[in-house]
Chains A and B, each alone.
Chain A
Amino acid sequence: MLKLSKYLLPYKWSIVFTIMFVFLQSLANLYLPTLMSDIVDTGIVNGNIGYILKMGIYMLLITLVAGAFTIIANYLSAQVASRFGRDIRYRMFSHIESFSLSEFDDLGTASLITRSTNDISQVEQVFLMILKLMIMAPLMCIGGIIMAFYSDAKLSLVLVMAIPVIVVTILLIARRGIPLFKQIQKKMDRLNLVLREGLTGIRVVRSFNRVDDELKRFDQANQDMTITSVKVQKIMAAMMPMMMLIMNVSTIAIVWFGGLRISHGAMQVGDLMAFIQYAMQIMFSLMMGAMLFIMIPRGQASSVRINEVLATKPDITDVLAKKTQNVSDIPNRGAIEFKHVTFRYEGAENPAVIDLNFTANPGETTAIIGGTGAGKSTIMNLIPRFYDIEDGEILVDGYNIATMKIESLRQMIGYVPQKSVLFTGTVKDNIRYGKEDATDDEIKQAAKMAEADSFIQDMKDGYDSLLAQGGKNVSGGQKQRLSIARAIVKRPLIYLFDDSFSALDYKTDAKLRKALKSITATSTTIIVAQRISTVIDADKIIVLDEGTIAGIGTHESLMDTCQVYREIVSSQVDKEELA
């Protein structure tokens, strides 16, 4: 929480003024009882109506001033808190944008989303509360104590007794309650988990006749949570009555001892009345403080999660500016070479790829084939430097990509991911994502080559049709074709297709690859695929098996030399036809 408060620094003056106005406002509010006591002690005792009216007008003025101060303080604190939220949100988002994929794997996409949305709102709200109450509570408390001492120091001994009692009570209750609140949170998560599992596996649960067990499991979690909740609520039930009792008993004590002092002539009745009101103010402010103690842990959890993100340093950054190569320095060809490349995902026991050596040349199509988990997609992720390798070198046109400017490296690449990601917006916008200044003609051209033009034309608004978030309103195959068009419009030197034809039917697949041949004639093309039919025409096929290269060559040569390749082929082609 404290760490985040550095984002308040730019607004320190606003905060200083907020504190000042809150203080003035508390003073004004505290001054009212003093004036009232004057009315009693001077006005009433002497029967001076003129004096009473005069004091009344003063009081009215002070009320107005206090109101104005509060509004100003509110204005400032609302702005500061919102700005604070805005700034952190911005910091967070732009920081996350600099993350490589390994940080995303590490923290989890879903978690990053909640952290940059819910958690920030939570913290923003807590800070707003702090700005308003946290400042007000101590000021009211201190102001109240000062005024109480000022009006009668000896009687303040009652407060000296009462305040510790209140504080201790709050702490005692909080100490028993807060751990239970944390437990409830955990039990709630458990309840959620049980229910979610039951929902996702509903067919399995029913078909195995385990409905009763699931009910029991849920009931256990439900009971568990109920018991803890009841416990907590019963503890919290003591909070308010205890507070009220302490406050009321103090009032009684004030009246009694105050009465004694009045009879000794050491105090006036109006002072006593004012004193009671001060005491109330002080105790209210303490209760407000107690509330904050409950609020802060709430913000605490969120701010820990935010700080975790902000403290995460992106793995992959440009090396020192001096050493980076610019695109202009590199002859634009696009040859890729892997030299003894080994890579391991964060925290993984075994490397995902081990000692890879191969080249992919311009004008050639290089296909990568292998089982699930063999490391195909990993290679595709290493070329645009989504991850940094552990050992070895990846060279593009002879330059190590680790020394290139990331921006210029990625500029050379047209990447089509395994899972087609589309964004909210028109079809045109989505294709244009590949090249910001692409003309309508270029877009149409790219769509045609990606075999997407015809279905786009069939859509209601053609190229201006809106895609829903994640492209929910187009089919899997259409999504893939759009994301291929997005890469084509870029006209890159290097094409990376990561299993990008899987959702296409065989006919479209074949047609698309034929069309691609003409576009990729001069570029380096790497295709990851599962289907033999997709890779069969490649200039070079790389067979991966558990992170290592089991064979490199053309289809014919691999059929002769590579056992793994033959197995893959035979698993897909029925034996009769092969024979």
Chain B
Amino acid sequence: MSKDSKRGGIRPGGFGHHGSHRGMPKQKAKDFKGTLVRFLGYLKPHRSILVIVFFTAILSTIFSIVAPKMLGMATTKLFEGVMMKIKGVPNASIDFHFIGRILITLLVFYLISSLFMYLMQYLMSGVAQKIVYVLRKQIDEKISRLPLSYFDKRTHGEVLSRAVNDTENISNTLQQGLTTAITSLVTFIGVIVMMLSINVLLTVLLILTIPLSFIGIKWISGKSQAHFIQQQKQIGNLNGHVEEMFTGHQVVKAFGREKQAIEKFETINNTLYHSAWRAQFLSGIMMPLIMFTSNIGYVLISVVGGILVTKRMIEIGDIQAFIQYARQFTQPLTQIANISNLIQSTMASAERVFEVLDEKENIPDRKDVKVLSYPKGHVRFENVSFRYKEEEALIEDMTIEAKAGQSVAIVGPTGAGKTTLVNLLMRFYELRSGHIFIDGIDITDMKRQDLHQLFGMVLQETWLFKGTIRDNIGYGKQGASEEDIIAAAKAANADHFIRTLPDGYDTILNEEGSNISQGQKQLLTIARAILANPAILILDEATSSVDTRTEMHIQQAMNQLMKDRTSFIIAHRLSTIQDADLILVMDKGRVIEQGTHKFLLEKGGFYAELYRSQFSESDSFTELKSI
């Protein structure tokens, strides 16, 4: 077991969390110094408490360091009394008066030391948790200001791990690491000073044993590191295999390949075992090694000290004090070694957090925003260009117009830029050039909040959160009344099915939302959009994850929703958009055709081809028509 995980045992914050364990190769910060400086900035508001913590740490350590020497004095006094008795000095007795005084002083010292130690930990816990609270809050606020393009590039897991695991790692370090660093340092220096004050020769002897253990530790950790890396790799392989086999379970079963899956697992598992036990063994002998050298120090003190006592160069109590110092001496050394690792990994975490905080944000709203008091929903794209990646043009010089109340359908193959168009309209991304106007106002002149207020969205993935159906519909409008919510549900054809659920509007949707069907979920999002009562509606593949019959059912609700609103409909099933006022056919980021369904069919271009491929390609379609 590595020293690191041993400390993890007492590190209270590390309860069941990840932290860095097993003494694995540590992550390192790219810019250690910069990160550290910035991190210290977070400590600043707490500097008065930290100063107190610093002094309590020093005081607590000093009082505990002085103790062994005083205890040694008591022992010496005892010994003197005994020796005098042995030598037959008349009226010889042990000076209990003196010893008692020392012991009472000691008691006071110990009390003070413990008190300061408690104070230090107590104060530190408030500081550590508050700092982490601030970090988390900042990340969350940052997330709310980041452009969507940031999330396109990253998995949710990655963002989550920065917001939760990395901050947790920082919290653990702050809680334990900082105070341990101070006390270890003070102990180390203090112990050397105290030892020197007793005897220089013994001190030198003890210090000479240190390189011994350091060389040993270095040698072993070099060796074990290789095994740890190997172990990490094998764990990766193993987890990969497990993940793959479990997610593909159905296929493994269908093809009867369980045996092969197990065989492969066994091979990896065995390789893992071989590196695992070696790594464990090697890192495990570090502790005994330290103990061994400290025992050698112990022997040296006993022997050399003993000889020195007989030579009357030191007192007997000094040996006792020395033995205690020797024990205190190795501890801070190993701890300081640990802490440097800990600090490395903490700074790596801090850097990952700062990276999030430093991401480029959405362009802030203008100061002199324009307000649309009575939105009508007239939308115009003027020479709009946009790229996700600098070198890859996605939308080039696009000009389109949707009049108030019109329904505009956008069709085209995957990757044509349909969803992008919607994202631009909502100003989730910034244009490269050109303008988008709503009722004649450039959207960059509007407050984002006001802009979003204009839209209602129904997307392919039905985003619902864990909570009641009522709350989920009510999400569309702040402070919506019960009547509003029910009216919206009715308009969306959802009221009926909601009432058939055991808890009606109070039914709690679970995390995956698996307690209602896909079609029902979609109806709820439509109800949510109806409640929001937007001027402009966006339907992005709203029905593509349900079957065609359910789609017809939802379509009614959507028609209700689209009434008197400008709506943008993205669909790949052409059957759903034939009634649109305007159909935009997109390919490779450009609108290549536009017009009504009838017009486009007659034109016989891309749309007509697309339409035919969906409806007429089947050989039997002619049959179908003849029925």
Q: Which residues of A contact B113 (CB under 8 A)?
A: 244, 248
Convert A19-63 into 0s and 1s, putting 1 for each residue whose CB lies closer than 8 angstroms to a CB of B: 000000000010010011001100111011100110110011001
With contact pairs A82-B273, A211-B144, A417-B251 given, residues A423 and B517 touching in the complex (Cβ less than 8 Å):
no
With contact pairs A291-B9, A294-B12 given, residues A230 and B126 touching in the complex (Cβ less than 8 Å):
yes
Q: Are B1 and A93 in contact (CB under 8 A)?
A: no
Q: Are A262 and B12 in contact (CB under 8 A)?
A: no
The dominant DSSP class at the A interface is helix
Is residue B357 within 8 Å, beta carbon to beta carbon, of the partner chain?
no
Q: Are B74 and A255 in contact (CB under 8 A)?
A: yes
Q: Which of B94, B265, B548 contacts A263 (CB 8 A)?
A: B94
24 CB contacts below 8 A, A to B, read A70-B288, A74-B288, A93-B269, A94-B262, A97-B261, A101-B253, A109-B246, A116-B242, A116-B246, A128-B280, A129-B1, A226-B132, A237-B125, A238-B118, A244-B114, A249-B107, A255-B74, A273-B323, A295-B9, A301-B16, A371-B548, A373-B518, A469-B243, A506-B617
Distance between Cα atoms of A574 and B617 in the complex (Å): 14
Closest A residue, CB atoms, query B272: A86
Q: Which of B137, B278, B459 contacts A203 (CB 8 A)?
A: B459
Is residue A439 within 8 Å, beta carbon to beta carbon, of the partner chain?
no
With contact pairs A86-B272, A195-B160, A244-B64 given, residues A209 and B296 touching in the complex (Cβ less than 8 Å):
no
Q: Which of B244, B276, B453 contacts A470 (CB 8 A)?
A: B244
Convert A468-494 into 0s and 1s, putting 1 for each residue whose CB lies closer than 8 angstroms to a CB of B: 011000000000000100100010000
Q: Which of B137, B163, B316 contacts A40 (CB 8 A)?
A: B316
Q: Are A469 and B244 in contact (CB under 8 A)?
A: yes
Is residue B29 within 8 Å, beta carbon to beta carbon, of the partner chain?
no
Q: What would 9 more interface pairs be, CB under 8 Å, given A185-B16, A208-B532, A245-B111?
A: A104-B249, A188-B17, A210-B478, A242-B118, A248-B114, A292-B9, A294-B9, A301-B16, A510-B617
Query: Which 8 residue pairs are nearest across A and B when measured between Cβ atoms?
Result: A233-B125, A237-B121, A56-B303, A70-B288, A82-B277, A201-B463, A533-B618, A78-B281
Cβ of A45 to closest chain B Cβ, rounded Å: 7
Is residue A346 within 8 Å, beta carbon to beta carbon, of the partner chain?
no
Q: Which residues of B contact A90 (CB under 8 A)?
A: 265-266, 269
Q: Which residues of A contact B517 (CB under 8 A)?
A: 372-373
Q: Are A384 and B246 in contact (CB under 8 A)?
A: no
Q: Are A200 and B253 in contact (CB under 8 A)?
A: no
Q: Which residues of A contact B239 (CB under 8 A)?
A: 113, 117
Q: Which residues of B contact A301 (CB under 8 A)?
A: 16
Distance between Cα atoms of A241 and B122 in the complex (Å): 11
Distance between Cα atoms of A450 and B3 in the complex (Å): 57
Q: Are B240 and A469 in contact (CB under 8 A)?
A: yes
Q: Are B258 and A98 in contact (CB under 8 A)?
A: yes
Q: Are B71 and A255 in contact (CB under 8 A)?
A: yes
8 A Cβ contacts from A205-261 to B: 206-211, 213-215, 218-219, 222-223, 226, 229-230, 232-234, 236-238, 240-242, 244-245, 248-249, 251-252, 255-256, 258-260
Is residue B552 within 8 Å, beta carbon to beta carbon, of the partner chain?
yes
Binds B, one of A139-147, A153-161, A406-414: A406-414
Cβ of B440 to closest chain A Cβ, rounded Å: 22
Is residue B151 within 8 Å, beta carbon to beta carbon, of the partner chain?
yes
Distance between Cα atoms of A490 and B257 in the complex (Å): 13
Distance between Cα atoms of A305 and B397 in the complex (Å): 57
Closest A residue, CB atoms, query B77: A259
Closest A residue, CB atoms, query B144: A211
Closest B residue, CB atoms, query A564: B549
Distance between Cα atoms of A213 and B151 in the complex (Å): 20
Is residue A536 within 8 Å, beta carbon to beta carbon, of the partner chain?
yes
Q: Are B254 and A192 in contact (CB under 8 A)?
A: no
Q: Are B121 and A240 in contact (CB under 8 A)?
A: yes
Q: Are A121 and B235 in contact (CB under 8 A)?
A: yes
8 A Cβ contacts from B407-441 to A: 426, 428
Q: Are A109 and B247 in contact (CB under 8 A)?
A: yes
With contact pairs A77-B284, A197-B466 given, residues A269 and B78 touching in the complex (Cβ less than 8 Å):
yes
Is residue A191 within 8 Å, beta carbon to beta carbon, of the partner chain?
yes
Binds A, one of B33-41, B306-314, B372-380, B481-489: B306-314
Closest A residue, CB atoms, query B277: A82
Closest B residue, CB atoms, query A58: B299
Is residue A75 within 8 Å, beta carbon to beta carbon, of the partner chain?
yes
With contact pairs A195-B140, A208-B476, A237-B125 given, residues A371 and B151 touching in the complex (Cβ less than 8 Å):
no
Convert A411-424 into 0s and 1s, putting 1 for each residue whose CB lies closer than 8 angstroms to a CB of B: 10101010001011
Task: Count contacts on B: residues with CB < 8 A to the other chain.
Answer: 163
Q: Are B257 and A433 in contact (CB under 8 A)?
A: yes
Convert A171-212 into 0s and 1s, putting 1 for each residue whose CB lies closer than 8 angstroms to a CB of B: 000000100010011001001110111111111101111110
Closest A residue, CB atoms, query B161: A192
Q: Which residues of A contact B354 (CB under 8 A)?
A: none
Q: Are A112 and B117 in contact (CB under 8 A)?
A: no
Q: Which residues of B contact A204 (CB under 8 A)?
A: 457, 459, 463, 475
Cβ of B456 to closest chain A Cβ, rounded Å: 8
Binds A, one of B184-192, B342-350, B386-394, B619-627: B619-627
Binds A, one of B81-89, B333-341, B398-406, B490-498: B81-89
Q: Are A572 and B303 in contact (CB under 8 A)?
A: no
Cβ of A111 to closest chain B Cβ, rounded Å: 10
Q: Are B277 and A256 in contact (CB under 8 A)?
A: no
8 A Cβ contacts from A61-84 to B: 63, 66-67, 70-71, 74-75, 77-79, 81-83
Q: Which of B270, B428, B465 contacts A197 (CB 8 A)?
A: B465
Q: Which residues of A contact B316 (CB under 8 A)?
A: 40, 44, 269
Among B21, B128, B323, B449, max chain A CB count under 10 A is at: B323
Cβ of B186 to closest chain A Cβ, rounded Å: 15
Distance between Cα atoms of A411 and B254 in the complex (Å): 8
Is residue B505 within 8 Å, beta carbon to beta carbon, of the partner chain?
no
8 A Cβ contacts from B496-551 to A: 511, 517-519, 528, 532, 546-551
Q: Are A237 and B118 in contact (CB under 8 A)?
A: yes
Q: Are B164 and A199 in contact (CB under 8 A)?
A: no
Distance between Cα atoms of A434 and B476 in the complex (Å): 50
Q: Are B12 and A236 in contact (CB under 8 A)?
A: yes
Q: Are A206 and B426 in contact (CB under 8 A)?
A: yes
Distance between Cα atoms of A234 and B326 in the complex (Å): 31
Closest B residue, CB atoms, query A129: B1
Q: Are B281 and A74 in contact (CB under 8 A)?
A: yes
Distance between Cα atoms of A75 and B278 in the complex (Å): 8
Is residue B115 within 8 Å, beta carbon to beta carbon, of the partner chain?
yes
Distance between Cα atoms of A214 and B103 in the complex (Å): 60
Q: Are B137 and A222 in contact (CB under 8 A)?
A: yes
Closest A residue, CB atoms, query B511: A193
Convert B1-30 into 0s and 1s, putting 1 for each residue whose CB lies closer than 8 angstroms to a CB of A: 100010001101101110001100000000
Distance between Cα atoms of A241 and B547 in the complex (Å): 67
Q: Which of A121, A280, A371, A417 contacts B549 (CB 8 A)?
A: A371
With contact pairs A195-B163, A298-B15 given, residues A256 and B103 touching in the complex (Cβ less than 8 Å):
yes
Closest B residue, CB atoms, query A277: B323
Q: Are B575 and A572 in contact (CB under 8 A)?
A: yes
8 A Cβ contacts from A95-152 to B: 96-101, 104, 109, 112-113, 116-117, 121, 125, 128-129, 132
Cβ of A85 to closest chain B Cβ, rounded Å: 7
Distance between Cα atoms of A278 and B617 in the complex (Å): 91
Distance between Cα atoms of A184 and B248 in the complex (Å): 35
Q: Which residues of A contact B9 (CB under 8 A)?
A: 129, 291-292, 294-295
Is residue A507 within 8 Å, beta carbon to beta carbon, of the partner chain?
yes
Q: Are A125 and B5 in contact (CB under 8 A)?
A: yes
Q: Which residues of B contact A444 (CB under 8 A)?
A: none
Distance between Cα atoms of A530 and B299 in the complex (Å): 84
With contact pairs A60-B299, A572-B575 given, residues A199 and B110 touching in the complex (Cβ less than 8 Å):
no
Distance between Cα atoms of A211 and B270 in the complex (Å): 50
Distance between Cα atoms of A55 and B280 in the complex (Å): 35
Cβ of B308 to closest chain A Cβ, rounded Å: 10
Is residue A399 within 8 Å, beta carbon to beta carbon, of the partner chain?
no
Distance between Cα atoms of A77 and B64 in the complex (Å): 36
Q: Which residues of B contact A483 (CB under 8 A)?
A: 251
Q: Are A44 and B253 in contact (CB under 8 A)?
A: no
